[in-house]
């Protein structure tokens, strides 16, 4: 067992935790902070939004999640054009948390599926501007390959619609992506409970990204722990190598020396 050496690299940094979490939908910043701490994530996603200029509030999310401790991964959630996504990334970089971005260009409000051509276009621009781009994308191997070709540091295919909690609905498509891509594959969206996270990890995904599954649980802090364990269990099972599936039984106990 080489537990201590099981790390992965993303955009030049090394991580131990394969659980990446969003910070939306929590009751307050303190609950966000505790959930992130319990789930063990080292990378957290954040959104970029207008400051309320009439009431800016005293506190900021990053007062609770220090960029010294966590890799802050700004997203472009809510962007429907490549241009808006690129603008959002430029703003995020200037806010001083580095050049890693989660690129999302949404194509449809009901499914929140990505606009694939616009995502590729935005990725190209951002890579040229020196960003480390992690794109949210459909489970389409060709789209993933294009994003790898333009220089993305990972691809993040959805497993089911964002916030749906439907679980891993596309194992075969993900399997193809896992076989064909050389950059890390991170499942982003769809996970509903710990076993879903385990399934993604058992398949060999580098990491899993989730938000609603933890923040929307009846007890988010308990689910944060469950997700940590689910991701770890799935990863360990992947490394251990599961048995072949068989149609008929194979006895676990010796077949000899039975009593008469």
Partner 1 sequence: MRLSVNGEEREIEAGATIERLLEDLGLRARRVAVEVNREVVTRDAWPCTELRERDSVEIVQFVGGG
To partner 1, the closest distance from the beta carbon of 14 in angstroms equals 24
Choose the catalytic residue: 102, 124, 180, 225: 102
Q: Which is nearer to partner 1, 1 or 56 (CB)?
A: 56
To partner 1, the closest distance from the beta carbon of 26 in angstroms equals 6
Pairing of the two strands 207-210 and 19-22: parallel
Strand partners, 101: 133
Q: Which is nearer to partner 1, 137 or 209 (CB)?
A: 209
In this structure, the dihedral spanned by the alpha carbons of residues 51, 52, 53 and 55, taken in order and rounded to 10 degrees, is: -130
Q: Which is nearer to partner 1, 43 or 141 (CB)?
A: 43
102 is a catalytic site residue: yes
To partner 1, the closest distance from the beta carbon of 44 in angstroms equals 9
Please give the Cα distance from 117 to 105 (Å, whole number). Answer: 9
Are 194 and 230 spatial neighbours (Cβ–Cβ below 8 Å)?
Answer: yes
Query: How far, CA to CA in Å, does 64 sit from each of 37, 73, 92, 205, 227?
Result: 11, 15, 18, 29, 21
To partner 1, the closest distance from the beta carbon of 75 in angstroms equals 6
Q: Which is nearer to partner 1, 75 or 119 (CB)?
A: 75
Please give the Cα distance from 237 to 45 (Å, whole number). Answer: 27
Binding site for partner 1 (CB under 8 A): 22-26, 32, 45-54, 56, 60-62, 72, 74-75, 77, 87, 90-92, 94-97, 162-163, 209-212
Q: Which of 84, 87, 103, 83 is nearest to 95 (CA)?
A: 87
Q: Among all residues, which ones are annotated catalytic?
A: 102
């Amino acid at each position: 067992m080489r537990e201590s050496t099981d790390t992965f690299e993303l955009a030049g940094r090394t991580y131990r935790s394969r659980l990446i979490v969003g910070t939306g939908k929590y009751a307050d910043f303190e609950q966000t902070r505790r959930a992130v701490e319990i789930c063990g994530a080292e990378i957290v996603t954040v959104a970029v939004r207008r400051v309320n200029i009439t009431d800016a509030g005293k506190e900021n999310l990053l007062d609770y999640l220090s960029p010294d401790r966590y890799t802050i991964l700004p997203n472009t959630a809510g962007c429907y054009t490549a241009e808006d996504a690129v603008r959002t990334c430029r703003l995020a970089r200037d806010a001083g948390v580095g050049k890693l971005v989660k690129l999302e260009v949404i194509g449809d409000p009901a499914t929140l599926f990505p606009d694939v051509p616009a995502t590729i276009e935005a990725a190209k621009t951002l890579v040229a501007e020196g960003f480390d781009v992690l794109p949210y994308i459909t489970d389409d191997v060709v789209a993933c390959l294009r994003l790898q070709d333009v220089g993305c540091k990972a691809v993040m295919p959805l497993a089911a619609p964002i916030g749906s909690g439907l679980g891993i609905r596309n194992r075969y498509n993900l399997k193809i992506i896992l076989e064909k891509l050389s950059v890390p594959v991170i499942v982003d969206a769809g996970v509903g409970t710990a076993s879903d996270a385990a399934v993604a990890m058992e398949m060999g995904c580098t990491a899993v990204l989730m938000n609603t599954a933890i923040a929307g649980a009846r007890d988010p802090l308990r689910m944060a722990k469950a997700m940590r364990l689910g991701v770890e269990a799935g990863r360990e099972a992947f490394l251990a190598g599961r048995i072949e599936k068989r149609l008929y039984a194979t006895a676990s106990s010796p077949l000899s020396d039975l009593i008469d």
